[in-house]
Amino acid sequence: MRGLLGDYVSMTERNDSKAQLALEDGLEIRTKSTHGHNRAISAISILLLLATLALLIALIIVSNAKTKNQSQLSECIHQTEQTCNTAHCVKTAANVIESMNMEANPCEDFYEYSCGGWIKSHTIPEDRSSFSSFSVLRENLQVTLKGLFDKPKLDSDIHAIGMVKDFYASCIDVETIEAKDAQPLTELLTELGGWPVLGNQPGGDWREVDYNFEDLWSKMASYELFLLVEGFVEVNEKNSMVRVLTVDQPMLGMESRDYFLDDSKYGKEKQAYLNFMKGVAKLLGADPTQVDTDMDAVLAFETKIANMTVPSTERRDGEANYNLFTLKELDEDVPQINFRKYFEALLPSTDTIVDSEPVVNYSPEYMRQAAKLIAETPPRTIANYMLWLFVKILIPEISQRFRDVQQQYYNVLKGTSSSTARWRECVDAINDAMNCYCRMYVAETFSGASKENTKLMITKLKQSFKTLLESNDWMDAATKKVAAEKIDGMQEHIGYPDWIMDDVKLNEKYADITITAGDYFTNVLQNMRLNSKIGFSKLRLPVDKTEWSTGPAIVNAFYSSMKNLIIFPAGILQPPFYHENSPDYLNYGGIGMVIGHEITHGFDDRGRQYDKEGNLIQWWTNSSIVSFKERAQCIVDQYSGYEMPENGMHINGKQTQGENIADNGGLKQSYKAYRLLEQNSQEAMKSLPGIDLNSEQLLYVNFAQVWCTLFRPEGVTSRLLTGYHSPDRYRVIGTLHNSDDFARVFQCSADSAMNSKKKCVIW
């Protein structure tokens, strides 16, 4: 699933073509420190102080409107009967003013105009590769969750809630984790047959005579680690009510294949990765000479694997990716690998598979090449590689000396100079692993009015999209008809799933989990195994398209193409996206744009390939497809022309086209929907005190301020190589370059930078 901020994958529904609103900060923020909490509290205190001062200044100026003040702020003040003067509006106005640079010309650089103040007043924390408005929201959310998890365990707590508190307590129990050091890891490695590089040290004692590729491959998958060849159970893209066995190319040890393949650009990062491997093995007691020999061979092997993978830009055509085999045909096509043995080891014993069992192969050529490489490579190298990747993901769960080696790697890869506070990592770990905590979060933070108001906005945004659909001049009538039916059939999830408020259902959901106090490592492994077991157990089960695939404490939003479903967790229904007391134009510039973004994903370059039932099928006419691709190419070319000032790299317009299409369509829909509301409500037009901007201009300012961001050069590099979203500056500038509405609202001249002569428009 992909969403507004970054890539979220449900391990039990891995192939659903989902889109999310935005990208998470950093790559894998998994390392530790102890000073993050104090820094966050200090930052929040400073921001609150600045906001209060700005608020007082604004009020003084408003109350003395007849007295001309020479400050820039006073020049922007206006007070009329159409001003919102509630306490919430005054506080909001102060926040908006603080984030702006009013000296900038909005028609030349709207990002600087809207975010210049925010950028000037913020710095990137030492443990981050970037910092944004989203980061602030996430830090606030972490503080809220910490307060909930820290509460003493009560006799009245139901089983599921008690488990959350126990899991969190085991994670922050640093004393016990340090005392155990690497023992839990080496015991696991022994159970898996030993890590060859360790020789006769604990966790080693590997014997080639006992090695079998399919055995080790399936053991890794039983912990949700799909290596070399990904094999799992997924929803069938061409019949989204059933599931099917699937195989695909794997993820790699570094986030992008480019890090492995382009030494001239990324040799430093590749060397840091090799040093990371060797450093961990040496800490576990391996012979240094053997480490050099073995890990050099591992990196050479993984580089060959990386070269065989297909770039993400070449995997956007769903029909081309979908290759249906029977199990017998797959075994014949890739004879070096025993797929039957692998799946039988992971599926429930009641699920019998036969020669005619369908298997979708998403990467046939990769399978053939990788299978030959596996057959030709010494077993020692393969075992070293697979166990290295398992060790790598478990580093955050063991003692600090291993995390210090990981941090050295992150210093190069992300540009960070310190690790993240342990409590923050523990909050994120619980948030990722267990949704039963969400009962606590929802009860503490979420308003029923938010759900109803969001539902009403979704209705308005859907109608806005249908209006744009009907008015476009490139799609034929037959395709417009079925596209409108897809909009009408689009479902929504808002806030949280209802079952979490039911004690019985919540306990049933987590009945198979036992959390052990003082044993965080085992708790993590147990959760990994349970998730894998659940995923493979669904092969013969019908697909429940109403099932939530995310928790509510997430600052993000999602679209699922195989469910035709938009998802807005409770975590994103907060300022600057949404507040029930905010003027409508702020909500439409915030959550309104988000809603429009997710709706548009149903009609971007990937989402358009799935019909209203979520099935991969050609449901557009050929002529409409050709017209769409011509307009999508305009978007690709536009964004590919943007260069990042931090490192001089260009955006990959092909890789980011789906998100760019969604940004453009989402903002346009939201503005059109607000215009309709504005025509029928004087209340909707009330401006903010202290800002000489009308309601429509403030809609665009709020849209931009959602994306205020600072990047380290390394963070930009990672974003451009791995992300499906354009960097935030160009999510604003690129979208507004294509907007006639924006140019009109801000009265930008035809030759101004923000009013592009060539505008790329699809929706």
Residues tagged active-site: 598, 663
CB-CB contact of 651 with 727 (8 Å): yes
CA distances, 130 to each of 5, 29, 115, 125, 126 (Å): 13, 11, 15, 8, 10
Q: Residue 333: what residue type?
A: D
Residue 451: both structure tokens together: 């759900």
Sequence-distant (6+) residues with CB within 8 A of 26 are 128, 129, 130, 414, 416, 715, 718
DSSP string computed for 518-546: T-HHHHHHHHHHHHHHHHHTTTTSPP-TT
**Residue given tokens 């903002």 in the structure block:** 667
- What CA–CA distances, in Å, run from 209 to 203, 206, 377, 380? 17, 9, 15, 11
Under DSSP, the state recorded for 315 is: -
The DSSP bridge pattern shows strands 18-21 and 3-4 to be parallel
Number of Cα atoms under 13 Å in the Cβ half of residue 145: 30
Q: Which helix (H) or strand (E) holds 433?
A: helix 422-433
Phi, psi of 537 (to 5 degrees): -75, -10
d(CA 290, CA 605): 49
Omega cis (within 30) before 727: no
Between CA 602 and CA 609, with CA 608 as vertex, the angle to 5 degrees is 125
Classified as helix, coil or strand, 742 is: helix
Strand-pair category, 491-495 with 358-361: unpaired
Q: Record the tokens describing residue 162, joined without a space.
A: 């008690």
* 83 backbone dihedrals φ, ψ, rounded to 5°: -105, 135
How many angstroms separate the CA atoms of 326 and 330, rounded? Answer: 6
Distances in Å between the Cα of 400 and the Cα atoms of 33, 183, 412 are 9, 13, 19
